[in-house]
Amino acid sequence: MNKQLLLILACHFTVCGIAPMNTRIVGGEDAPPGSWPWQVSLQIFGSHVCGGSLINREWVMSAAHCFSSTSTARWMISLGRENLEGNNPNAVTISVSRIILHPDYDRRRHDNDIALLRLSSPVTFTDYIRPVCLAASESVFNNGTDSWVTGWGAFEEGVFLPFPGTLQEVEVPVLGNRQCNCLNGVGRITDNMICAGVLAGGKDSCQGDSGGPMVSKQGSTWVQSGIVSFGFGCARPNLPGVYSRVSRFQQWINSHIRSDKPGFVQFNSIGPDVDSLYTCPGLPPPVTMTTPTKSPTTRPSALTPTCGIAPMNTRIVGGEDAPPGSWPWQVSLQRFGSHVCGGSLINREWVMSAAHCFSSTARWMISLGRENLEGRNPNEVSRNVSRIILHPGYDRRRNDNDIALLRLSSPVTFTDYIRPVCLANHRQHDLCWCSGRRQRLMSGKMLYKSPGQRRKDLFILSYVSSLPLQGDSGGPMVSKQGSTWVQSGIVSFGFGCARPNLPGVYSRVSRFQQWINSHIRSDKPGFVQFNSTGPDVDSLYTCPGLPPPVTMTTPTKSPTTRPSALTPSTPPPTVSSAECKYNDGKTCCMNVIKESVVPEIELDVDSIIENYILSLVFFVILCFSMWNCSYEHQDSWR
């Protein structure tokens, strides 16, 4: 019986081609129970043969090379299993009713190495049995993207049995296909494959892991990018493992699964695709990259991956804990109970955030009045999201028009801890505050600077000691006008975080007033005209490649009755209470602003010019002391 079993297993591991099939975890460690709830064990006569991943209640995905035929006889699927032997209280075993191999599977070249298995009956999801999301067809996994491979494969190359008792996990970075081709032999790696491994060796998948998943985390969502397929040895230096690229098979998978479709998620790696520049003898010339070296990215949400570049960081750099209720419009956008992005409450039913936070519109929750991401929040209220609207002009590559609106499932009641923010309807230049979350609500102060890129829907901040980081995406930047807080920006992207001379970039709220009002038909948000004091010294700023500044015209010499923005004694503009009021008689931004009349001030032109020149000299000196005027803002993406 044992000899027959070994023969059967050997047949299933046999792969014709250049090198023996290698499909196991090398250099891994025990996986905590329930940490990979989609991992399944494909078994014959109760013995583990291959791995696989649960993709919905009835279907499992694995590798085609695990099957010598499509006969379902003797095949069983074990789900929720942690150990191959001993007690598994959370395990469920189900027979297989159908096996589908990809019609173009090439056993010699390992191309299109993918298979679907239908369970004989639907499985019930538990904490230990859950499906994995699949990489959608447009997903991008750049060189260096952090990935995890799981399985029960052997510990050493060439050792088939015994397999490890406990499910193993190992972290390996993605390796670009061009580099992988050069390492494994030009022409062996096709577009249907994705590579991963440590070039120094020591970590890899191998025998027994075949068909198992390789996943990457995008925020709180795990996305399967690859299926363990083959390799040249196991964990050898400069020989990464090769996996079937899941995103290439979205159409084929959906063609066989007619109902309860798997969850396909678009995964977008951050940073330039350096693999496109990799070359070696015999490899076609690389595609010329038009993107400059410095590469900005969106402030990653949990749906905008940071793997391969830097670990997820969700706090304000240089910020401090915000007192409870100090930013009552700040909300937390959550999926599966985990914070993904920030946002701002703009009326009883609508929240504003960044478009780059959303690759999916399902399963979103909004937490309002929350102070801590963990622990007790007595003032918190949660709402489902009934609608998500992304700006039609949103450009994910350039981060342009990075704004989104979310409608709550039901109106919220205003409290001291839950209130809407006023929105800017005019360009502003002032001291601003940005709030975001780590474990507690954080806030940081920063000085506004006008856009060096001259893009009308974005604006740039300086004050490099306190800037938003990943996880603050979609959150508000506000400025105070009198007793009114006005949102001027939405956290969007930046070149690093809190780096000298590299300010963060925010979507300019005032540019979207018409678009916002076109979707919010009743209970309009409170738009407030914000007018900064002082001259616009940014109009005189220049650097190589920037168009000449606009010439400022000198006003005619005549008295004026309009209040001068150049006169320090002029009180700030005020807002009518009717302009920003809600049904409860209160205004947005916490404080009711009563109507007042701005006193008329008469100044002759000589006074205006004198004040202007003094202010201009001060700001120019400040500019040169704070900025290196020869620095370059390269319009590139990190």
Q: Which residues are catalytic?
A: 65, 113, 210, 356, 402, 473
Q: List, in order, residues 6 or more apart from 586 with CB less than 8 Å away.
A: 414, 419, 592
Least Cα distance to 212 among 89, 112, 66 occurs for 66
Least Cα distance to 365 among 346, 380, 347 occurs for 380
Least Cα distance to 332 among 379, 267, 293, 296 occurs for 379
Query: Contact 238/231 with Cβ under 8 angstroms?
Result: no
Classify 125 as helix, strand or coil: coil
Query: Contact 343/323 with Cβ under 8 angstroms?
Result: no
In whole angstroms, give the CA distance from residue 456 to residue 512. Answer: 11
Distances (CA, A) of 36 to 27, 30, 66, 152: 18, 11, 21, 12
E-strand stretches of 354-461: 364-368, 381-390, 404-408, 422-424, 431-437, 441-449, 458-461
The DSSP call for residue 234 is S
In whole angstroms, give the CA distance from residue 490 to residue 473. Answer: 8
In whole angstroms, give the CA distance from residue 288 to residue 304. Answer: 26
φ, ψ of residue 220 in degrees (nearest 5): -100, 10
Q: List, in order, residues 6 or more apart from 179 with CB less than 8 Å away.
A: 143, 195, 275, 278
Query: Contact 491/455 with Cβ under 8 angstroms?
Result: no
φ, ψ of residue 607 in degrees (nearest 5): -65, -40
Instruction: Provide the CB-side half-sphere exposure for 473 (13 A, CA).
Output: 32
How big is the chain by its Cα radius of gyration, in Å?
A: 29
Classify 124 as helix, strand or coil: coil
Query: Contact 484/422 with Cβ under 8 angstroms?
Result: yes
In whole angstroms, give the CA distance from residue 602 to residue 600. Answer: 7
Which residues sit opposite 106 in a β-bridge? 111
In whole angstroms, give the CA distance from residue 70 to residue 49. Answer: 15
Instruction: Provide the CB-side half-sphere exposure for 431 (13 A, CA).
Output: 5
φ, ψ of residue 45 in degrees (nearest 5): 55, 35
In whole angstroms, give the CA distance from residue 96 to residue 103. Answer: 19
Instruction: Assign 3-class secondary structure to 262-285.
Output: CCEECCECCCCCHHHHCCCCCCCC
Within 10 Å of residue 584's Cβ, how many Cβ atoms?
Answer: 9
